[in-house]
Every structure is written in C-alpha cells, then in structure tokens.
Amino acid sequence: MSVLIVGSTALDSIKTPKAENPKLLGGSASHAAVAASFFAPVKLVGVVGEDFPKQYIQLYRKHRIDIEGLQIKPGKTFHWSGEYEVNMDNRRTLLTELGVFETFTPHLPDTHKQAKFVLLANIAPSLQAHVLDQMQRPKFVIADTMDLWLNIALKDLLALIKRVDAFVLNESEAHQLTEKNNMLHAARAIHKLGPKFVIIKKGHNGAFMSGPRGLFVCPAYPLEDVVDPTGAGDSFVGGIMGYLATRSGSVEGNLRRAMVCGSVVASFCCEGFGLMRTTKVTRSQIDKRVAELAKLVRF
Amino acid sequence: MSVLIVGSTALDSIKTPKAENPKLLGGSASHAAVAASFFAPVKLVGVVGEDFPKQYIQLYRKHRIDIEGLQIKPGKTFHWSGEYEVNMDNRRTLLTELGVFETFTPHLPDTHKQAKFVLLANIAPSLQAHVLDQMQRPKFVIADTMDLWLNIALKDLLALIKRVDAFVLNESEAHQLTEKNNMLHAARAIHKLGPKFVIIKKGHNGAFMSGPRGLFVCPAYPLEDVVDPTGAGDSFVGGIMGYLATRSGSVEGNLRRAMVCGSVVASFCCEGFGLMRTTKVTRSQIDKRVAELAKLVRF
C-alpha cells in the first residue's frame, strides 16, 4: 500500500565544522518521502516556489514519489540554514525564510484521500490537522513534531495528538511536553493525550517505543562518521511508515522491525549532507544494516 | 569459580531531591562485590576504619563475600558525600574524607593470588596495578575507572590499561581519554592502549562493547523510579564479572549476556539508596529482568 506524507519541502543550507553546503534538497517531507520510498510507493504533499531546482523534482521522481500533491507556487521555496557544532549534537538556526511556505495549505488530490498510511511529518500542527480533516479512513496515522510547535502552537499540537495513532518526538521534547524527566512517565503522560503508540527519539542512542503490548528499545546503527544529522528524525519516521505500509498483519506486530528499518535509513541519512547519501542507498544495503543491528543487540 | 574484587569500601552520605541518607555502605568494591555475589563466590579486598559498622560486615557475610582481604585499620573509614540534581544525571561531591584509605595498600592473602577472575573496581590505578603484581595467572582481568584518575593519575592509568583484558569507562571519560567524540573511534583508540575488550557505559542509555568479534549494544532496563544511581557503574562491572566466573567456554562468548546481567543488577541498584535495594534482590528477580530485556530489544 502507498504512504501519504505531508510536511515541509525546503532548501537547506547546512554548515558543519568540516564543510558547508548551500541549498540542498531538504524539509521533513523530502527526507521522510525518500526514506519511505525504499519500502513502499509514496505520495508527497508539500509546497515549493518557482525557484525549486528541476533536479530536485527529478530526485523525487527517481524515487518514484508521486508529486501530484506538491504545489508549485509563485515565490521562493522555504529556505533554512543551520550550523552544527563539533559534536554534531548541537545546532543553531542561522536563517529561516518561509517563502511560499508561509501561506501553505495542504490540499489533497482525491486520489490521496483514501491513503491508509498517513505520515504527518514535522510541520505546523494546524496543517497536520488540516490533512487529517481531508482523509477518509486512514488505517494508521503517525505525527512527528519539533520543539518549535511546543513553544508556539501547543494548543494546536494537543488537539492533533488526540487524533493520531502514533506520536513521535525526541527526548527533550517529551520532557518539555510532559514535564516528566523519566521516560516511562513521559510516555504514559503522552498516551493520556491520545496516541496508542509513543515513540521517543534519542539520536545516536536509538529510540524507545511504548505501546499496548509494552516497550521496545530500538538500537541506533553505530556510525563511523556523522557528516550531517539534518533529516535523520524525518528519515526515521519515513522508514517506519514505508515499512509498515508493505506488511500484512497488525501494525503493532510490525512496528518494532519498522522502527529498526527507520533507524537504519536515518543512519544512512547522517552519512551525507542533506539527502546526498540516502538517495544513493539501495534496499539491500538497508536490509544488510537491519541484519547487522539484529546481531548487535543479540545476547 | 570465585571472583577477586579490589576497590574502595566506603561510607556514602547521599542527598537527592527527595531524601538524604547518611553513612550508607558504599564504595566501588562494596557495590561490585554484592552484584557479583548473585552469580559467583566473591573475595573482597579493601580497607575500612575501626568505625566501620558491624552491620555492614554482616551484610557482606550475608552475601557470602569472603572478607579475609578486607583490612580493618585504626582510623576512620573513607567517607564520601554527594548530592544529585533533579534529573539524577548530574551530581556534585560535597565531601571526601579519605581516612584509612589514604594509606591503603592492597595485600592479597595467598588464597587470593590464584583467582582466575579479577575485577579492579574503581580505585587509584597504581593500587589496581599493585593488585595485578601479586596475581599469579588470572584468566580475565577487568578494570573500571573514573574521571578523577584521568585528571590526576593518567600515566598510572595508561600503564594499567596495557595489562588488562577489558577496560570499562563511561562515555565522557572515553571522550576525555581519547579526544574522540565518536564512540567507535574512541573504542578503537582504547584498544590501541592494550585491552581486547572496551566497555563504554552510557547510564540509562545502556552500554556498548567493542571486542575482537565486533560490537554489542547492551540495553539498560527502563526504570520507573531512579532513587539513587550511586554505585550503578560498580554494580554493572560486578555483575559482569560474577556472571563470567560461573560460565564455561570463552569469555567473549559469554560477555554479552554478562553485560546484560550487570545492567540488570545496576538497575536494581538505582532503585534504592546505596545498597538498600540491591541487597534485597534475589537471583530469580535478576533472571526475570534479563528475560524482560531480551524481549525489550527483540524485533
């Protein structure tokens, strides 16, 4: 089955201690869509300006991403610029130019409204909700977020969380949202806000899932060289959703392996600037790392 | 087979946001010895003053810990006092009174010199080396350490590392020792200093092992309530060594499960002040959590 992904489609200018790369293909939906495309057909919903490079459209097409839902509007594409510190854990935003993203309203083509697997990648929660309003009977909805929305759109976010099956956020966001330091307590508090599944991302320490059948500790693939972590979280959720959409049986039964697949795609994402490494990966390389991770945690 | 454990034997006064407990049984050797005792007979080597409470001697005995190598000297027992912040990750030392520990030289009784499994728990590296000098043909030697020795006794520590099979340290110490941010690079740099096995502790994110047959990602048991993390690292290495001493076959073949056992004992340690919780645990409770961890990482 195909996956519907809505989120940001952007140009990212990324600076690390080792290099600087202007106007790479970025945005939560771009990363998530490419990640999901290794597993399932993807329908992307987003907006870009008239300046959006044709080569990036080609890149989506190369991954057989359906871009019927990608609006091309007069004006400039959303442009984000950020800089990482030496340890690659801390980053600061240098520039945010919203461009056509400022007035973005996601409109779903009719063919998209019946999608069963819906990934609301990181974007304003009111827009995520607007997508859900247009859906008919999705089977599984995941929403990702970021600290910005906790700070400026908490009410919208809380309204959205109620409506999703799985909610994804990172450790510090979980603490911020729930005011709980303990991860089990934080997960429980988030379950009370609605979602059956809570997934907490912990960067190079992997991720953690809480669901009706208990907890899952998902490993991260140990990397020799982190070139650029931008989009790793988006790749993680994209990989999860892509894998889930291809499996029969209950979502819960498949979610653990889906998370490992997402974790592996995220590991590839970190090995290159923007989508440079991810777009060169093959499914068999992903499966190989999934098998390696299985060995890594075996005891 | 029995395990020889040398390290500090102390009185710990511990303050957390929720409570304050004076003069608990503490020290790296105490925590490690109790942890190891769930799996194998333990011989403890350390020093205490004449003020050392008899009930703590009884506690060692209750765990069938051989204290022939525990010196009782005129003067005061090593006393450490520390305070934890709300998140329980950061602690500061309020007081360190070395007492009889200041002039401690570990002398091994003859019966101890032939021990096959030797745990050099956290203590000055010159003392750890002095223990090794007295050993005859140990089969497996693990050394633990702390940032203090990196800061004030680096030369001694580097000399010691050469002589041990496995070296254990935490993430920030690994970064400090090797000047590498990446954990794989740090582990490789430490292998070059001598040890075949490098174990990097990551607190509630588990631990990581690098050895000749590759890497192991060891999970931490998710805890509802961290009461006091003091001694968790010591319990971890103690549990590892205790488990290894009871297994036939190659150490490497047993090390993964040994780390999980250590991780589980450390989890119990965190659930009470000092050794209060650990000393009430049973082997079957440990085995139960080991089985739960196996389920937690399965995918």
pLDDT digit string (tens) for A167-209?
A: 999 999 999 999 999 999 999 999 999 999 999 999 999 999 9
Rounding to the nearest 10 degrees, give the CA dihedral for residues A142, A146, A149, A155. 40
Give the nearest chain A residue to B254 (CA atoms): A299
Q: How far is CA A118 from CA A6, A70, A209, A299, B182, in A?
A: 8, 16, 19, 35, 35
And the tokens for A164?
């999703």
- Of the candidates B96, B67, B62, the residue with the CA atom closest to the CA atom of residue B80: B96
How far B207 CA sits from the closest chain A CA (Å)? 10
**Residue B113 has what pLDDT?**
97
The pLDDT, as a whole number, for residue B99 is: 96
> By the 8 A CB rule, do A11 and A25 touch?
yes
Nearest to A215 among B206, B257, B296 (CB): B296
Instruction: Render A99-158 in DSSP notation, one character per residue.
Output: GGGGG------GGGTT-SEEEE-SS-HHHHHHHHHH-S--SEEEEE--HHHHHH-HHHHH
Size of interface A-B (CB pairs under 8 A): 74
Q: What is the DSSP letter of B87?
A: T
Helix (H, G, I), strand (E, B) or coil at B126: helix
| Minimal Cβ distance to A184: which of B185, B219, B224 | B224
How is residue A190 written in tokens?
């988030």
* C-beta of residue A155 within 8 angstroms of C-beta of residue A177: no
Contacts of B88 in chain A (CB under 8 A): 181
User: Cβ neighbours of residue B133 under 8 Å, at least 6 residues apart?
Assistant: none
Q: Contact A219/B256, CB-based, under 8 Å?
A: no
Mark residue A152 as left, alpha or beta (left: phi above 0; alpha: psi -120 to 50; beta: remaining).
alpha
Task: Name every residue whose Cβ is closer than 8 Å to that of residue A13 and which is 6 or more positions away in sequence.
Answer: A20, A21, A22, A23, A24, A79, A80, A81, A82, A94, A95
The answer to whether A41 contacts chain B (CB < 8 Å) is no
The rounded distance, in Å, linking the Cα atoms of A73 and B244 is 65
| Chain A interface includes B255 (CB < 8 A) | no
C-alpha dihedral sign at B216, B217, B222, B226: positive
Instruction: Quote the mean pLDDT of chain B.
Output: 96
Contacts of residue A114, Cβ cutoff 8 Å, sequence gap at least 6: A136, A137
Question: Helices A54-62 and A28-37, interaxial angle, to 10°?
Answer: 30
Nearest-neighbour CA in chain B from A224: distance (Å): 6
Average pLDDT over residues B206-212: 97
CB contact burial A188-205 (16+ within 10 A = b; e otherwise):
ebbbebbbebbbbbbbbb
Q: Which residues contact A94 (CB under 8 A, 6 or more apart)?
A: A13, A15, A81, A82, A83
Query: Is A259 in Cβ contact with B182 (below 8 Å)?
Result: no
| Alpha carbons B131 and B120: distance in angstroms, whole number | 8
Torsion of CA A208, B295, B234, B38, to 10 degrees: 160
* Number of CB atoms found within 10 A of residue A22's CB: 11
Residue B184 with chain A: CB contacts under 8 Å: 222-224
Strands, sheet with B20-26, edge to edge from the N-terminal-most edge strand: B20-26, B10-15, B79-84, B91-97
Among A86-95, A127-136, B133-142, which is the least confidently predicted range? A86-95
Q: What is the mean pLDDT of residues B133-144?
A: 96
B2-59 confidence digits (pLDDT tens): 999 999 999 999 999 889 999 999 999 999 999 999 999 999 999 999 999 999 999 9
ipTM rounded to 2 decimals? 0.93
Kindly state whether B74 is in contact with chain A, defined as any CB-CB distance less than 8 angstroms: no
**A287 chain-B contacts, CB cut-off 8 A:** none
Using CB atoms, which residue from B86, B208, B297 is nearest to A217? B297
Q: What pLDDT band is residue B89 in, cutting at 50, 70 and 90?
A: confident
Could you tell me if B222 and A183 are in contact, meaning their C-beta atoms sit under 8 angstroms apart? yes
B259-292 pLDDT per residue, tens: 999 999 999 999 999 999 999 999 999 999 999 9
- Residue B49: how many CB atoms within 10 A of its CB? 19
Is the minimum CB–CB distance between A110 and chain B shorter than 8 Å? no
Task: Quote the CA–CA distance of B235 and A194 in Å, as a whole number.
Answer: 38
Contact B219 A218 (CB under 8 A): no
Phi-psi region of B23 (alpha: psi -120 to 50; beta: other; left: phi over 0): left
Chain A hits for B297, Cβ within 8 Å: 216-217, 219, 297
What integer is the mean pLDDT of A109-115?
95
CB contact under 8 A, B181 and A256: no
Most A-contacting residue of B215, B297, B298 (CB-CB within 10 A), to test interface: B297
Round to whole Å and give the CA distance between A90 and A94.
13
**How many angstroms separate the CA of residue A287 from the nearest CA in chain B?**
14
Q: Which residues of A touch B208 (CB under 8 A)?
A: 222
Query: B217 and A259 in contact by Cβ < 8 A?
Result: no
The 8-class DSSP code of residue A203 comes to G
* Per-chain mean pLDDT for chain A: 96
Neighbouring residues of B198: CB distance < 8 A, sequence distance ≥ 6: B166, B167, B174, B187, B190, B191, B209, B210, B211
Q: What is the pLDDT of residues A263-296, one digit of tens each?
A: 999 999 999 999 999 999 999 999 999 999 999 9
B225–A contact, CB cutoff 8 A: yes
Q: What residues of B are in contact with residue A295 (Cβ under 8 Å)?
A: 214
What is the DSSP-derived secondary structure letter of residue B26?
E
A179 at interface of B, judged by CB pairs closer than 8 A: no
Residue B21: strand pairing partners = B14
Cβ partners under 8 Å of residue B36, min gap 6 = B3, B5, B42, B119, B238, B239, B241, B242, B245
pLDDT band at B90 (very low <50, low <70, confident <90, very high): confident
